[in-house]
Amino acid sequence: MKLVTAVIQPHKLDDVREALAEIGVKGMTIGGQIYAQFISVVFTLAYSGIISLILLKIIDAVIGLRVNQEEESSVFDISLHDEQGYTI
C-alpha cells in the first residue's frame, strides 16, 4: 500500500484541476462535439418517431389497433379467445 501512496501522493489534486481546466470545457467546445452530438440526438429522435408512426399505421391497416365497439362493450375473453375467464 505504501507503493501506491508513494506514486499518488506527490501529484495530489493540483494536476487534476489543471487537467480539467485545460481539457474539460475546451475539449467539449473546440471540436464542435456538443453541437455534433446534439444534432445526432435530434436526428435519432426524429427518425425513431417517423419509423414508429409508419409501423403504427401499417399495423392499424393490417390487423387494427382496437376491437370494434360491440366487442369492447362485451367481455373481451369471449370475443378474443373464445372462452370465458370469469363470470360477471
Q: State pTM to two decimals.
A: 0.53
Could you say which DSSP state residue 65 is in?
A: S
Cα gap 82→33, rounded to integer Å:
57
Q: Is the pLDDT of residue 4 over 60?
A: no
Cα gap 18→12, rounded to integer Å:
11
Can you say whether the dihedral through the CA atoms of 6, 8, 12, 18 is positive or negative? positive
21-52: per-residue pLDDT in tens? 666 666 666 777 888 889 999 999 999 999 99
Query: How many whole angstroms from its chain centre is CA 23?
Result: 28
